[in-house]
Amino acid sequence: MTLRNFLSIVTLMALAYGCNSQKDKLKTQKKSLEIDWIYQVDSLLMPFWMSEEALGNPSGNYPNYRNSEGHILTYENFDFTSIPKYLTDFLITQPDSLRRSYIRINSRQIYTYCVAFNLTGNEAYLKNAKLGVEYLLKNGGYTTGSPYTYWQDGKGMPNKFQSTTQDLAYSLTGLSMYYYLTRDECVLESILKVKDFVISEYYDNSQLKENTKLVMWVKDNYEGDTVGDKRLLAVLDQLNAYLIFVTPLVPDNLTETFKHDVKNLAYSLKDNFYDDKYYLFWGDLNNKKMGESPTDFGHSIKSFWMLYLAGQLLNDDSLVDFANRNAIKLLNTAYIKEDGSWAEMYKDSTLRIVKNKVWWNYAELDQMAATLSLRDTTLYSKYLKQTYKYWEKNMIDYKNKEVYFLLDEEGKPNDLGLKTCHWKNGFHSLEHALIGFLSTSNYLNDEIPLYFAFEKDAKPVKSKINPYYYSAEIINYEESEFSNPLLDNLQKTKVTFQNIN
């Protein structure tokens, strides 16, 4: 008999005898075995994002580079001796990153505040998200459908068709999360412009063809990115950054178009990049080589995750089965039983495992295991009880807050002299917390309260209110007012779900 079954029997006995206090005590004991995700967000992650330096000047213009203590870094004050040579090149010359401010990072920070609000209902988080959205839409070049990749010396760069399709996708991460919370029609308009631009210019008109049509990486060569590149992330990140997430939320007249695009890109991803010999997706069709990102466990498990969600969205059982079956094989490969953690990748063609823990890679492995656990709770016991605890104990920087870049093979943090940069922000750590909260609540059969801020004149029907990527039964719906005048047009809405699937 499992512990879970035993507790269920004892609870039923307590109810029969009216022993409510005993029932509550047992539930508390059971909860004590799991992560307190709300505490993790409020006390261990968000303090790093709520400092004056984090909010930017003006508010919403977030700094990309901050050190472990949260202080802003620039090219002039950064200690380049603190990081390896290969990363120095990445920060300075490929491209000149420290002199730039990347829109994808602003977008990810908006996402960070949105998730924190979704979990806690703290309107200070939502206020910061709204300021970020307003700054981005005013200054990011979204009206063309091709927002800038970065600002340098106050100028949006690069030229049209020189932005990678990955950057175009990630320019929508924060906007999509804000739309999920609010259903702001102006935000949806920007999402539609970028989506339509990517599909028409980089997919429909792509000259890159393998088994199915590919999404082009760029249409004009720029800083090492070329029109002949055949990148996994050109396809994957359209699905991951906005498309699958937003499809269930959009007005009905847009649903079929979105689903059509999801299907095309999902099969482009599956049919062109997957290698069934290794249960991996090749990161670059022009350079099929082990031991180099993005041919790693993180990008491959994220690919399975998006295909699994796409299959559910499209009612495509074959796609769901493909992703489910092969993701389990990769999870078994990546799981390190000795310490209950995830490995990073194969080192090379010998298939030796690299046991480093890179923050985003680890989060993606957890998130696919969590998604599958919503149907098969044995996966929570097999993997997540251990990997969630490892993350909380080792990946979080308890002194300075947020999470480390990397733990080495011995589990020790690798201090690179910076906590955030032109790729690392709060996106992955907060998404990890949100899915951790949902999967843990599901495992415990708990009610799941989440907070939204729907526009007062654009409230969605309840069938379009979901817990993130998933669906669930709504059992309670409470509306209240915000106290901050900046949020006057929004209605604070607490939605309680159960039975996620």
β-strand pairing of 353-354 with 345-346: antiparallel
Query: 278 in a domain, yes or no?
Result: yes
**Across all residues in the chain, what is the average pLDDT?**
92
Whether 9 shows a pLDDT value over 80: the answer reads no
Give the N- to C-terminal CA distance of the chain in Å, as an integer: 26
Q: Give pLDDT, residue 33.
A: 56
pLDDT mean over 372-400: 97
Q: Which domain holds residue 446?
A: 34-498
Look at residue 21 and tell me if it is in a domain.
no
> For residues 395 and 35, what is the distance between their CA atoms, to the nearest angstrom?
14
Mean pLDDT of 37-53: 98
Residue 205 within any structural domain of the chain: yes
Give the per-residue pLDDT at 87.
80
Average pLDDT over residues 17-41: 59
Number of domains in the chain: 1
Alpha carbon distance 328, 239 (integer Å): 21
Spatial distance between the Cα atoms of 403 and 392, rounded to a whole number of angstroms: 9
Indicate the pLDDT class of residue 396, thresholds 50, 70 and 90.
very high
Q: Is residue 15 part of a domain?
A: no
pLDDT at 31: 54
Q: 158, 52, 144: which is closest to 103 by C-alpha? A: 158
**Residue 12's pLDDT is what?**
31
Alpha carbon of residue 38 to chain centroid: 17
Q: Are strands 341-342 and 335-336 parallel, antiparallel or unpaired?
A: antiparallel
What's residue 475's pLDDT? Answer: 97
> Is residue 16 predicted with pLDDT exceeding 60?
no
pLDDT of residue 32: 56
Q: By three-state DSSP, how is residue 449 classified?
A: strand
Cα–Cα dist 125/106, whole Å: 15
Kind plus residue range of the DSSP H or E element containing 495: strand 490-498
* Rounded Cα gap, residues 142 and 193, in angstroms: 8
- Per-residue confidence at 472, pLDDT binned at 50, 70, 90? very high
3 state SS of 354:
strand
Angle of CA points 52, 58, 64, to nearest 5°: 70
**In sequence order, what DSSP letters do the residues of 109-162 get, joined into one string?**
HHHHHHHHHHHH--HHHHHHHHHHHHHHHHHS-GGGT---SEEETTEEES-TTT
3-state secondary structure of 467: coil
Contact (CB, 8 A) for 142 and 181: no
Residue bearing the bigger pLDDT, 389 or 80: 389
Residue 463 pLDDT level (bands cut at 50, 70, 90): very high
- Is 30's pLDDT higher than 80? no
Kindly indicate the confidence band of residue 405, based on its pLDDT and cuts at 50, 70 and 90.
very high
> Tokens 């990397």 map to which residue?
406
What is the predicted pLDDT for the residue at 90?
Answer: 80
Q: Can you give the CATH number for the domain in which 97 is found?
A: 1.50.10.10
Give the pLDDT score at 34: 79
**Angstrom distance (rounded) from CA 152 to CA 143:** 19
- What is the per-residue pLDDT across 333-375, written as a single tens digit (0 to 9) for each? 999 999 999 999 999 999 999 999 999 999 999 999 999 999 9
Taking 50 as the threshold, does the pLDDT of residue 38 lie above it? yes
Query: Is residue 13 a part of any domain in this protein?
Result: no
Q: What is the pLDDT of residues 140-154, one digit of tens each?
A: 999 999 999 999 999
Residue 28 lies in a domain: no
Q: How far apart are CA 403 and CA 401, in angstroms?
A: 7
Inform me whether the pLDDT recorded for 7 exceeds 70: no
Q: What is the pLDDT of residues 82-140, one digit of tens each?
A: 888 878 888 887 788 999 999 999 999 999 999 999 999 999 999 999 999 999 999 99
Instruction: Please report whether residue 156 resides in a domain.
Output: yes
Whether 25 is covered by a domain: the verdict is no
CA distance 299 to 293: 8
CA distances 190 to 24, 249, 317, Å, are 48, 15, 32
Q: Percent of the chain at pLDDT above 90? A: 87
Model confidence over 221-235: pLDDT tens digits?
A: 999 999 999 999 999
SS3 474: strand
Q: Is 222 helix (H, G, I), strand (E, B) or coil?
A: strand
pLDDT bin (cut points 50, 70, 90) of residue 14 is very low
pTM reported for the whole predicted model: 0.93
Which residues contact residue 2 at a Cβ distance below 8 angstroms, ignoring those fewer than 6 apart? none
Q: Is the pLDDT of residue 56 over 70?
A: yes
